[in-house]
Structure 1
Amino acid sequence: MQHAEAVRLDGRSLTRAQLIAVAYGAPVELDEAQLPAVARAAQFLAEQVGREEPIYGVSTGFGSNADRLLGAHRVRSGGGRDAMNPHESLHEELQYNLIVTHAVCVGDPFAAEVVRAMLCIRINTLMRGHSGIRVETLRALAAMLNAGIVPVVPQLGSVGASGDLAPLSHLAIVLLGGGEAFYKGERLAGADALSRAGLAPISLSYKEGLALNNGTAQMLACGVLALAKLEDLLDTADLAAAMTIDAFAGRLGAFAPEVHALRPHPGQVEVATNLRRLLDGSTLADIPYHLVPRYRPWLPDSWTQIAGAHPHVESLRFDIGWDWVPLSQRHGREKFYTRFRPFRGGKKHQPQDSYSLRCTPQVHGAVRDAVAQAARVFEIELNALTDNPIVFPDAQAEHVEQQVISAGHFHGMPLALAMSYVKAAIPVLASISERRLNKLLDPATSDGLPAFLIGNEDATESGYMIVQYTAAAIVNDLASRAHPASVYSIPTSANAEDHVSMGANEARHVLAMADDLGKVLGLELYTAAQALDLRRDMINAARELAAHVDAPGFAAKVFGGPLRAGDEHDAFLREVEGLRSELAAAPEFRPGRDVAVAHEAIRAHIPFLERDRALDREVATAVALVSRRVVLDAVRASRAI
């Protein structure tokens, strides 16, 4: 994205989309019209220091050292910063020490996109003009971002108040020539990264260290990036559900608009609408019960009686059949068998599907609402001031305490609670996906599909059996990580910071969990594509058979052999002819238009599973098709045509 349009930062109008653009490479520029306000706050602080006013973090220590005032002269001299920088003031040393002693995170570094998003957020909030940072320091921060320098920020170390102190210190320390950074793919000392990019380290003035490391940038960056993934995964989840519904020849009444108008939660209504659109054009959904055959294992003579007339049937990978309901078993059900023909095939005679299908709008929709709530919080936070103290240089006041106000905007609880909601929602979406996947594989619940979606004629094949194990393992792992971090406050800074949000951990968990949710959805799509092939081909094979044989031939094929004479013989043949003629007259059965596009996108990378083969690469491919949005983008593109 080297040629991406620059995102202008003014402290008031940054959007989630713009932040994502910067995270993945777009440069930033500072809004020149806002810089005088930035400079005015910095000048005000300098004036107050000249008057020897006590201001937290400027002329006092930090945290539990807030009651320690900086003197005019050093108490201790020689060694340390004094020896390296003999002309440095105590105020400058205070800010420098704040950064270098707070950069103590551990663990693997955050990905480059997270760090770039953190830098963008930090610059934007400092542009509000209430932090006391100098314009030249802000320009240096933007230059570092635009040069492609990515500070090394280990993932563990923030408690979410006073904001993300430690991670943000890892950002700022590189600006001072310390720490480490990635530059053009190489991990370097911070000073070397600056030098190679043609930049020089800076020194910090009044409150600048505090302005740089007080705030919620890590948790917000992780949260916004996670939501960008989750919003695509929500659409993918609807698509996976739609493909599974078609593979079940499911019922659409549960998604009708008049149904959801009676309980109009926004996410629920949106999902129901989406499912109707995804399944539009399906002739599998809402198919009459009696037209759906049941899978029977293929045998060498399964299709021999029509093979001569229809040679292609020899390639069929299944056999099909129905059971006839004798007259003696219809007592009390006569009205039902007036509407539906008296045959039991694959589809159960019940007016509703299982919860994992029927309640998709309610479950997916609730997750959408959780994500929408987090998005609302994040959009406020993107343009909020989150450091401390807050500088009001133009306020009319008798005392400086009324112009430099210590508050709590660094506290991450608004973000933490929003993300705890999302964190609890992620395994819910994964869980219902796994239940649909399992339903496709279990012959007791799959409505006539073969066990584990494989023929297994020789009892040697497992098909998709263990795919469900993997999905179950991921769901369990997601559930075990869903407990909110925000409910466990551990006081810090000698109890000066006696209640913290743990929002950084919350956001980090959500970002990682989003990737694992995508794996489960990929496995459902992988499985549903196999099931859809089988369901469609079985029904269409029955249709073609019906079009080319008479009622006795049809009966002999799908009801298991020659007919026996008896009282019910003629009635049986009449009803078989009704079934045969209805199938023969039916158009080719097909999934919804969007489902068909998604299925084609999967089949472009993963073939149908005829017989057992190694599935490891296919599973990895299925996961990648979701993470790279291949299937979702194919559907979106087809709608745009």
Structure 2
Amino acid sequence: MLLNKEKVQVGSFPLTLEDVVLVARNKHKVDIAEEQKEKVNRSREYVEKLLDDKKVVYGLTTGFGKFSDTYIPNDQAKNLQINLIRSHACGIGEPFSEDVVRAIILLRVNALLYGHSGIRLKVVETMVEMLNKGVTPMIPEQGSLGASGDLAPLSHLALVIMGEGEAYFNGERMDGGKAMRLAGISPVSLEAKEGLALINGTQVMTAVGALACWDALNLANWADYTSALTTEVLRGVRQAFEPETHRIRPHAGQQLVAKNITKITRGSQLMTNQGEIRVQDAYSLRCVPQVHGASRDALQHIHDKLIVEMNSVTDNPLIFVDEDKVISGGNFHGQPMALPMDYLSIAVAELANISERRIERLVNPQLNDQLPDFLTKEGGMNSGLMIAQYAAASLVSENKSLAHPASVDSIPSSANQEDHVSMGTIAARKAAKIVQNAYHVMAIELFSAARAAEYKGPEKLGIGTNWVYSFCRQHVPHQEEDHVMYNYFKQLADEMKDIEAVKALKEQLAV
């Protein structure tokens, strides 16, 4: 369940997906833990000492990428950072949504507060002010290779911190400096190391992935409910979900889904026993625990990887004050996120795939247990849900193309200095699109199964299926004649993501 807190404090505890959602979507305020401020200050003091001692340090007194061997005098250190941001802000395409950008800022703040980046506390506090006062940088979606981190998109964030670029404020897109002025935030003049500290990291792919994973974990719950309703109205065989089968193949996700379906259909007058109508159901009904469960296990793995990455330092170079070291390494490389994001694509695509097959069973007169053809009583005059299944089929087909892994590709950059990159941000963006598509497929299944329930008798539904049927009817009235449905599909998909609906769903599962 979501934490009930007015502020999300960054630095005192590891960030969770719930924290990201609260800040990104619910606009909760952000506060910096006091104990982290000293770490940031000590790291900055160490950088100042390196400058005074005229040490040769990557990104501090050198150029970047292939120019890492080019020495930059101290008196040009500030210009070096400004040039870095302006030259690297090469994003392409449509802007990221507001929630994604807010998640990006939150995750970047969290990484900087570990005190290994050499940035001034003032810069971090400016980013927190942007979150709390509603200044959202315009960050294009495309242009990142996922190593060295998310350079191009994060540079668009840094531009606004400097009072440049573009941003959204009070719903209007405008000059970044104007947005900062209207919000009462003073732009920052970047100093040595700070530009690199702002843009060298994996926070864009991780932010996209965190929100997509949160939505996917909730979608897995909705998938259990919608599949249970479909199974019930198709007079499914209950024995497939009994615990004996799943005890001897003890995958955690499979056992959880079987338990959920049994709980959701408790009290049903529509579920059948083996041999009562048929001995066994088609795979899209009978194998829900195995299919949904495999996706759930994948999502748990992805969640765990995201938590590690959200609470990591992914800069280069890294400052280790206590050890008196500056180390140029590869924590910016996005591979630890690229693979989970490709896995997320596959896991969620499968939830949609099997959902579409259940939709087909609901509308197809050869498969739907004597329900009306395409769930309409006056077939011919009415087409019913014929084209709703087309739409679902189109989305799952699109998902199959999007699920092709991005992480298997790499194009060398920076004159082959950066000769292997992750494409992790592409992987995350594709995963997020698949999650969006899957919500619409699930909405079509719920819409269809709820209509089928009208013919079988809603009063015969189980406790949980009655709840999800009622949820659907709160937003979508039953209409027998043909009518325009696309807005209903969108409304259901949006309502499934709503934070209050998510809480209610989890409370139902806990009963």
**Rounded Cα–Cα distance in structure 1 between residues aligned with 2:36 and 2:384:** 63
Is the contact made by 1:601 and 1:634 (CA closer than 8 Å) also made in structure 2?
no
Cα RMSD, aligned residues only: 2.1
Partner in structure 2 of residue 62 of structure 1: 64
C-alpha deviations, 1:479-525, integer Å up to 9, x for none?
A: 11110111111111111111011111111111122111000001011
Structure 2 matches for 1:196-345, cutoff 5 A? 196-286=182-272
Partner in structure 2 of residue 405 of structure 1: 327
SS state at 2:407 partner: helix
Is 1:484 aligned to residue 405 of structure 2?
yes
**Rounded Cα–Cα distance in structure 1 between residues aligned with 2:112 and 2:500:** 38
Deviation at 1:11, TM superposition (A): 7.0
SS state at 2:307 partner: helix
C-alpha deviations, 1:223-266, integer Å up to 9, x for none?
A: 11111111111111111100001101111111111211111111
Is 1:156 aligned to residue 84 of structure 2?
no
Structure 2 matches for 1:73-472, cutoff 5 A? 89-286=75-272, 347=277, 350-395=278-323, 403-456=325-378, 459-472=380-393
Q: Which of residues 505, 514, 519 is equivalent to 2:440? A: 519
Amino acid at match of 2:298: A
Q: How many residues align?
A: 507
Partner in structure 2 of residue 336 of structure 1: none
Distance 1:129 1:395, change over 3 A: same
**Rounded Cα–Cα distance in structure 1 between residues aligned with 2:293 and 2:191:** 50
**Rounded Cα–Cα distance in structure 2 between residues aligned with 1:621 and 1:59:** 54
Amino acid at match of 1:382: M
Is the contact made by 2:151 and 2:201 (CA closer than 8 Å) also made in structure 1?
yes
Partner in structure 2 of residue 37 of structure 1: 39
Amino acid at match of 2:108: R
Distance 1:478 1:273, change over 3 A: same
Identity across matched positions, percent:
41
**Rounded Cα–Cα distance in structure 1 between residues aligned with 2:20 and 2:489:** 32
C-alpha deviations, 1:413-439, integer Å up to 9, x for none?
A: 111100101111222111100101101
Amino acid at match of 2:427: E
Distance 1:360 1:392, change over 3 A: same
**Rounded Cα–Cα distance in structure 2 between residues aligned with 1:56 and 1:616:** 54
Is the contact made by 1:268 and 1:361 (CA closer than 8 Å) also made in structure 2?
yes
Deviation at 1:461, TM superposition (A): 2.5
**Rounded Cα–Cα distance in structure 2 between residues aligned with 1:604 and 1:594:** 15
SS state at 1:485 partner: coil
C-alpha deviations, 1:514-558, integer Å up to 9, x for none?
A: 111000001011111122222338xxxxxxxxxxxxxxxxxxxxx
Amino acid at match of 1:474: L
SS state at 2:457 partner: helix
Partner in structure 1 of residue 473 of structure 2: 603
Is the contact made by 1:248 and 1:446 (CA closer than 8 Å) also made in structure 2?
yes
Structure 2 matches for 1:500-579, cutoff 5 A? 500-536=421-457
SS state at 2:94 partner: strand
Is the contact made by 1:153 and 1:171 (CA closer than 8 Å) also made in structure 2?
yes
Amino acid at match of 2:290: Q
**Rounded Cα–Cα distance in structure 1 between residues aligned with 2:143 and 2:406:** 14
Is the contact made by 2:496 and 2:502 (CA closer than 8 Å) also made in structure 1?
yes
Deviation at 1:617, TM superposition (A): 4.2
SS state at 2:69 partner: coil
Deviation at 1:216, TM superposition (A): 0.6
Is the contact made by 1:267 and 1:365 (CA closer than 8 Å) also made in structure 2?
yes
Partner in structure 1 of residue 24 of structure 2: 23
Distance 1:276 1:105, change over 3 A: same
Deviation at 1:591, TM superposition (A): 1.4
The normalised TM-score by structure 2 is 0.95
**Rounded Cα–Cα distance in structure 1 between residues aligned with 2:428 and 2:121:** 30
Is the contact made by 1:626 and 1:632 (CA closer than 8 Å) also made in structure 2?
yes
**Rounded Cα–Cα distance in structure 2 between residues aligned with 1:124 and 1:632:** 26
**Rounded Cα–Cα distance in structure 2 between residues aligned with 1:358 and 1:638:** 23
In our comparison, the structure showing a higher alpha carbon Rg is: 1
**Rounded Cα–Cα distance in structure 1 between residues aligned with 2:49 and 2:499:** 54
Distance 1:271 1:378, change over 3 A: same
